[in-house]
């Protein structure tokens, strides 16, 4: 029985970094988020792919027991080609072919509509809104996005954020959305839109969690070998939501997410993101040992103590 609904892209990625190059490997925000969540929860993935998606790549998802019943099929997969320069801070896009993504129009099954946890990975906010409208009851909704949507569909994106319980974006996106260089102000502005929690991801510098009366600063895991940051942000949110689902799903009564649970979830998200960035594409996060995850969590506890 799946306990987390993940909606987002599944792509073929061509990635080049100073440490190497891979072509046509599994990518997409939905794929990364579902893989990351699978260490704690049983995700079902809703997405659209093409018949050109190699079985070997798709098997990365199914071997993690992610339900693929919600995959639609079209002709050619969404395909992204990008590269990173020396500092690896921001991906530069060489080419984006939307292909099947242009027709992505998810229709949820009755069971999917009942999911208590919904992870809307980075995707067109119109699609995100359409998914939210189909949900029964009041699921816990987490939303991620990217600058492209802030620049081209800001109003739709704000509508999505207003319906979310948790909104996540990176520092550049938060600054862009609110026209302020100050992340503390941006975090407060995100909360003012309605979500109970807002997170600003800062890559290697960790993440900031904002809630009504509190503020949490999570350190990033100190990675000496970072090969490819693609998908790290998506893995962060996937790991975080997976952890929350694991804490709350066993409760029969609906329970709200506590600040303490959310802080721990942020750290677990950072841990999974750190594994993601250590290898190209999804090359590592389809096969992390659970003991390694807990070990890094413990390491982050130690590096923050004073």
- Should residue 202 be labelled a site residue for a second copy when binding is judged by CB under 8 A? yes
- Should residue 113 be labelled a site residue for a second copy when binding is judged by CB under 8 A? no
Q: Which residues face 83 on adjacent strands?
A: 16, 92
Question: Cβ of residue 259: shortest distance to a second copy, in angstroms?
Answer: 10
CB atoms inside a 10 Å sphere around CB 249? 17
The nearer residue to a second copy, 266 or 272, going by C-beta atoms, is: 266
Stretch that binds a second copy, among 99-107, 109-117, 135-143, 177-185 (CB under 8 A): 177-185
Tokens for 221, please give them: 């895991």
Question: Cβ of residue 154: shortest distance to a second copy, in angstroms?
Answer: 19
Question: Cβ of residue 198: shortest distance to a second copy, in angstroms?
Answer: 13
Question: Are the C-beta atoms of residues 33 and 8 closer than 8 Å to each other?
Answer: yes
Stretch that binds a second copy, among 22-30, 85-93, 159-167, 248-256 (CB under 8 A): 85-93
Euclidean distance between CA atoms 126 and 119, whole angstroms: 15
120: left (phi over 0), alpha (psi -120 to 50) or beta: beta
Euclidean distance between CA atoms 169 and 149, whole angstroms: 12
Euclidean distance between CA atoms 263 and 246, whole angstroms: 14
Euclidean distance between CA atoms 195 and 201, whole angstroms: 16
Stretch that binds a second copy, among 33-41, 72-80, 199-207, 285-293 (CB under 8 A): 199-207
Q: Is 219 exposed, middle or buried (0-12, 13-18, 19+ CB in 10 A)?
A: middle
- Should residue 212 be labelled a site residue for a second copy when binding is judged by CB under 8 A? no
Q: Which residue of 52, 189, 204, 249 would you call a contact of a second copy, by CB under 8 A?
A: 204
Question: Are the C-beta atoms of residues 132 and 156 closer than 8 Å to each other?
Answer: no
Q: Which residue of 76, 113, 159, 185 would you call a contact of a second copy, by CB under 8 A?
A: 185
Question: Cβ of residue 298: shortest distance to a second copy, in angstroms?
Answer: 12
Stretch that binds a second copy, among 22-30, 52-60, 118-126, 198-206 (CB under 8 A): 198-206
User: Which residue, among 22, 44, 24, 25, has the nearest Cα to 33 in the 3D structure?
Assistant: 44
Stretch that binds a second copy, among 38-46, 82-90, 234-242, 277-285 (CB under 8 A): 82-90
- The torsion of the CA quartet 304, 213, 33, 193, rounded to 10 degrees, works out to -150
- Should residue 226 be labelled a site residue for a second copy when binding is judged by CB under 8 A? yes
Residue ranges binding a second copy (CB under 8 A): 86-89, 175, 181-185, 188, 202, 204-206, 208, 214-220, 222-224, 226, 260, 263-264, 266-267, 301, 303-306
């Amino acid at each position: 029985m799946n306990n987390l609904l993940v909606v987002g892209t599944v792509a073929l990625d061509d990635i080049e970094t100073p440490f190497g190059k891979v072509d046509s490997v599994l990518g997409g925000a939905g794929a990364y988020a579902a893989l990351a969540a699978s260490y704690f929860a049983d995700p079902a993935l809703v997405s659209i792919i093409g018949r050109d998606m190699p079985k070997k790549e798709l098997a990365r998802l199914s071997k993690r027991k992610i339900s693929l019943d919600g995959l639609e099929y079209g002709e050619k997969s969404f395909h992204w080609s990008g590269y990173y320069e020396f500092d690896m801070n921001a991906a530069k896009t060489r080419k984006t072919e939307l292909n099947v993504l242009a027709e992505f129009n998810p229709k949820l099954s009755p069971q999917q509509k009942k999911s208590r946890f919904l992870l809307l990975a980075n995707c067109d906010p119109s699609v995100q809104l359409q998914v939210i409208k189909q949900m029964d009851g009041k699921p816990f909704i987490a939303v991620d996005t990217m600058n492209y949507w802030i620049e081209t569909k800001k109003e739709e994106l704000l509508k999505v954020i207003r319906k979310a319980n948790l909104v996540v974006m990176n520092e550049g996106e938060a600054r862009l959305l609110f026209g302020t260089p100050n992340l503390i102000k941006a975090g407060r502005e995100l909360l003012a839109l309605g979500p109970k929690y807002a997170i600003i991801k800062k890559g290697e510098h960790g993440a900031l969690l904002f809630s009504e009366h509190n503020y949490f600063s999570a350190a990033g895991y100190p990675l000496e070998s970072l090969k490819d940051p693609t998908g790290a942000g998506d893995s962060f949110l996937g790991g975080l939501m997976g952890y929350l689902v694991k804490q709350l799903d066993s409760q029969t009564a609906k329970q709200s997410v506590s600040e303490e649970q959310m802080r721990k979830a942020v750290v677990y998200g950072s841990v999974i993101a750190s594994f993601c960035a250590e290898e190209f594409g999804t090359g590592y996060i389809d096969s992390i040992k659970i003991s390694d995850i807990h070990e890094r969590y413990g390491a982050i506890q130690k590096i923050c103590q004073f």
